[in-house]
């Protein structure tokens, strides 16, 4: 598993601007063009391969170098049940209930170093 500084910078830009953006716009800015993914999952500590695979509907996928530090997580972008990109999530904290779709909004949480992904509008 690797860091994705461009994806992190796109999420940081939402937090710093205070303005919501679609998850599609954030992903596109990080090099994931429209149509290349249909769901984004975010997993929190503790990260267990079996739980990640179960939640993603995968079997036998080996997740190497999973983050081990409290506060870190894992982003997984999927398309039609296949992993498109996976990256370590460091900061800001991104919260999503289940998964986010391209039309979901990434909204800054006022007064906190946190973003919330709100279902599409």
What percent of the chain lies above the pLDDT cut of 90?
Answer: 58
* DSSP one-letter string for 11-67: HHHHHHH---EEHHHHHHHTT--TTS-SEEEEEESS--HHHHHHHHT-SS----S--
pLDDT digits (tens, 9 = 90+) for 59-94: 988 998 888 877 788 999 999 999 999 998 887 778
State how far the Cα of 48 lies from the Cα of 79, in Å rounded to an integer. Answer: 22
Across 47-55, average pLDDT: 91
* Per-residue pLDDT at 37 exceeds 70: yes
pTM over 0.85: yes
* DSSP one-letter string for 88-114: EE-SSEEEESS-B-TT-EEEE-TTSSE
State how far the Cα of 28 lies from the Cα of 109, in Å rounded to an integer. Answer: 22
């Amino acid at each position: 598993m690797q860091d994705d500084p461009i994806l992190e910078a796109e999420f940081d830009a939402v937090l710093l601007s205070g303005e919501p953006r679609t998850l599609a716009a954030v992903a596109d800015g990080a090099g994931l063009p429209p149509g290349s993914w249909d769901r984004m999952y975010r997993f929190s500590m503790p990260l267990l391969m079996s739980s990640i695979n179960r939640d993603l509907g995968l079997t036998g996928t080996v997740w190497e170098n999973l983050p081990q530090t409290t506060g870190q997580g894992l982003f997984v972008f999927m398309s039609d049940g296949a992993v498109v990109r996976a990256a370590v999530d460091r900061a800001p904290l991104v919260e999503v209930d289940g998964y986010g779709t391209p039309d979901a909004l990434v909204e800054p949480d006022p007064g906190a170093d946190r973003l919330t992904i709100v279902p599409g509008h």
